[in-house]
């Protein structure tokens, strides 16, 4: 839709900025768990399954960080990275009981939502924040804002 002077109005960047800010916060939250384990136990003293879970957490944090920063520079790739990062955040939490506690899937999530483990806030944040980042990044308003280039800009 164009205005009277022939220029397209600038779309609101609310959802894109919210997705970027939430992605940035979630990246910091997800990076806490691998850093804590690497500092406490070292990389050599870990089982291969524990390393895999921590690598998934780290990958989700890095993708969310890159997506948030790219979104702040108004690139469409940022929203795509936030989409992938939101999915990776949820995948990291689901991957943990599958690899480390087989057969205790329901017990893991029941304890997690009771905040029984020491670092349950990271897992709950990932389960809640991951889909929220995904939804905010996939909204049409986010892509409309990121694709918009005012007349006369390069």
Cα(first)–Cα(last) distance of the chain, in Å? 21
Instruction: State how far the Cα of 48 lies from the Cα of 133, in Å rounded to an integer.
Output: 29
| Cβ neighbours, 10 Å, residue 93 | 23
Q: Which residues contact 76 (CB under 8 A, 6 or more apart)?
A: 143, 146, 147
CB 134 within 8 A of CB 1: no
Mean pLDDT of the residues in the chain? 88
Best CA proximity match to 122, nearest among 49, 54, 33, 59: 33
Q: Look at residue 145 and tell me whether its pLDDT is greater than 90.
A: no
Lowest mean pLDDT among 65-69, 116-120, 133-137: 116-120
Please state the pTM of the whole predicted model.
0.88
Q: Which residues contact 96 (CB under 8 A, 6 or more apart)?
A: 53, 108, 123
pLDDT at 91: 95
Which helix (H) or strand (E) covers residue 21, if one does? helix 14-41
Kindly report, residue by residue over 10-43, the tens digit of the pLDDT: 777 889 999 999 999 999 999 999 998 888 888 7
Kindly report, residue by residue over 82-97, the tens digit of the pLDDT: 999 999 999 999 999 9
Q: Look at residue 126 and tell me whether its pLDDT is greater than 90.
A: yes
Q: Look at residue 5 and tell me whether its pLDDT is greater than 70.
A: no
């Amino acid at each position: 839709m164009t205005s009277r002077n022939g220029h397209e109005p600038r779309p609101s960047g609310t959802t894109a900025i919210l997705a970027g800010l939430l992605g940035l916060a979630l990246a910091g939250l997800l990076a806490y768990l691998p850093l804590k384990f690497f500092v406490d136990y070292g990389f050599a003293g870990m089982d291969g399954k524990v390393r895999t879970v921590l690598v998934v957490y780290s990958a989700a944090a890095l993708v969310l960080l890159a997506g948030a920063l790219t979104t702040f520079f108004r690139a469409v790739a940022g929203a795509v990275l936030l989409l992938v990062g939101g999915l990776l955040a949820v995948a990291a939490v689901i991957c943990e009981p599958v690899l480390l506690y087989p057969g205790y899937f329901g017990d893991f999530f029941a304890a997690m939502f009771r905040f029984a483990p020491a670092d349950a806030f990271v897992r709950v944040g990932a389960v809640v924040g991951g889909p929220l980042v995904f939804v905010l990044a996939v909204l049409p308003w986010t892509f409309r804002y990121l694709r918009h280039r005012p007349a006369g800009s390069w």
